[in-house]
Amino acid sequence: MNDAAHDLHAPHFIGIGGAGMSGLAKILAVRGAKVSGSDSKESETVLALKALGADVHVGHAAENVPAGTSSVVISSAIRADNPELAAAHERGIPVVHRSDALAALMGGRRALAVAGTHGKTTTTSMLAVSLAELGLEPSYAIGGDLDAPGSNAHHGVGEIFVAEADESDRSFHKYAPEVAIILNVELDHHANYASMDEIYESFETFVARIVPGGTLVISADQAGARELTSRLRDRHALRIVTVGAAEDADVRVVSVTARGMTSEVTVLFGGEELTFTVSVPGRHYAHNAVAALAAGAALGVPATELAKALGSYTGVRRRLQLKGEAGGVQVIDSYAHHPTEMTADLEAIREAADGRVLVVFQPHLFSRTQQLAEEMGQALALADASVVLDIYPAREDPIPGVTSELIIDAAQRAGADVRAEHAFAAAPALLAGLARPGDLVLTMGAGDVTNLGPEILEHLSNVATKA
């Protein structure tokens, strides 16, 4: 098979287990491509790909790239000295960025791209689940799993393709959607953007890629989104639909009422009130659902039907995902790693929790910590007590003087009860010792802090058994 300008009939993915890469590999495998790849470790995602017939190696080596490979697919996280990338260059195998591969997969479909500094995965997931619930058989590529390893992507027979549009490395400039969502516009990804002006320019480039006569759904509430909208008003070939609680919003959120771990949302849509349930807590998730509603309607899906279908969305892994309960303590996992996300999730959990909210937070990236430590500390002040781990480096090298202590100092200035834990393995026992029945423990961050949830539950069980 051949997709657009890139030959993807026998692709090799470096880092195939990653959230974005694994989804593309899955779709291509289902479409009949001969998929191979490598990842640094075995995982449930890797096993799911192997079950689809992908040839996946654990570890990176030049010999992992099979003979007959038509292209090597990489993400921005792959370093230039990766041996498989070097082998591709030596053998003259075309190297394709993940975003180009996704753009090729979207070719010939009615593309709906979800962009924004926060909320992309949740909103894309809401659309994927609700459109599938309506029998529209969408294809989708999401930055997280819905309910099982490998559920971050699907090849559907319908005409709609829903995908996250990642601004972090400007790769969302590759897409040409019929409908786009911009949830918010904030300064993040400091290694790639030096200022808000650069961020606005990047989002303007993305908007310019919307097909003529297409639709942009954008927040009417968030300051950066409103500024971007003001810069776009002269785009006559573009239909702009604003959504939010602001009085001037085209689709206005009238109310969001917390119902435990769900929310009841009422919107004014087309001059009529429409009420539906969102099965995850928090005002920000409710607003994501309203953006999904407006975008689906722009594709011609009846709003009343889509609103009802949105209630079938029950969450995505790592987005306020309940990991379990032990000793009367709930443990919930959050992917939040930017201060805005941290604040939103903590406020949502605060509404849903009966007892105290305890957080174990793992900062993600040295560059983000350097720029946003003060705001992260302020967000942690919303918890009753916090434990801060060392920085998860991901793709970055350390920056002198940048440690998690910057966040701890900021949190203490904001009045937070916060402490450091430099030994990752010691964190579960520490959290279990702090918690008491009725409390809620939140594991928060984009790194491997997610692995602590089951261990915390085990320690809580042991404490309860001895009591």
pLDDT at position 409: 97
pLDDT at position 318: 65
**pLDDT tens string 303-334:** 999 999 998 877 666 667 888 999 999 999 99
Establish whether 164 is a catalytic residue: yes
Q: Do 102 and 141 form a contact (C-beta atoms < 8 A)?
A: yes
Task: Tell the residue number behind the tokens 């650069």, with chain if given.
Answer: 198
Establish whether 369 is a catalytic residue: no
Three-state DSSP at 258 gives strand
Structure tokens at 215: 């639709």
- Find the mean pLDDT for residues 418-430: 96
Stretch among 84-93, 148-157, 168-177, 215-224 having the lowest mean pLDDT: 148-157
Residue 283 φ/ψ, nearest 5 degrees? -60, -40
**pLDDT tens string 83-132:** 999 999 999 999 999 999 999 999 999 999 999 988 898 899 899 999 99
80 conformational bin, left if phi > 0, alpha if psi -120 to 50, beta if neither: alpha
Global pTM reads 0.75
pLDDT at position 283: 86
* DSSP letters spanning 333-380: EE---SHHHHHHHHHHHHHH-SS-EEEEE--B-HHHHHHHHHHHHHHH
Kindly provide the residue ranges of all beta strands, DSSP E only, lying in 67-192, ordered along the sequence: 71-74, 95-97, 110-115, 139-141, 153-154, 160-164, 179-182
pLDDT at position 263: 86
327 conformational bin, left if phi > 0, alpha if psi -120 to 50, beta if neither: left
pLDDT at position 258: 81
pLDDT at position 147: 56
Establish whether 121 is a catalytic residue: yes
The catalytic residue among 45, 117, 121, 443 is 121
Structure tokens at 460: 């809580």
Kindly provide the residue ranges of all beta strands, DSSP E only, lying in 183-281, ordered along the sequence: 215-219, 239-244, 251-259, 262-269, 272-278
pLDDT at position 51: 93
The catalytic residue among 164, 178, 186, 341 is 164
- The pLDDT-based confidence of 1 (bands split at 50, 70, 90) is very low
pLDDT at position 149: 46
**pLDDT tens string 226-266:** 999 999 987 778 999 999 999 999 999 999 988 777 889 99
DSSP run (H or E) holding 385: strand 385-388
Angstrom distance (rounded) from CA 148 to CA 138 = 18
- pLDDT > 90? residue 463: no
Residue 97: name the closest of 116, 69, 78, 124 by CA: 78
pLDDT at position 320: 75
- pLDDT > 80? residue 146: no
Burial of 273 (0-12, 13-18, 19+ CB in 10 A): exposed
* DSSP letters spanning 411-429: HHHTT--EEE---GGGHHH
* Percent with pLDDT over 90 in the chain: 75
- pLDDT > 60? residue 4: no
The catalytic residue among 26, 34, 120, 323 is 120
H helices present in 56-119, as ranges: 83-91, 98-106
- Residue 79's alpha-carbon distances to 71, 103, 368, in angstroms, are 17, 22, 19
Summary mean pLDDT of the chain = 91
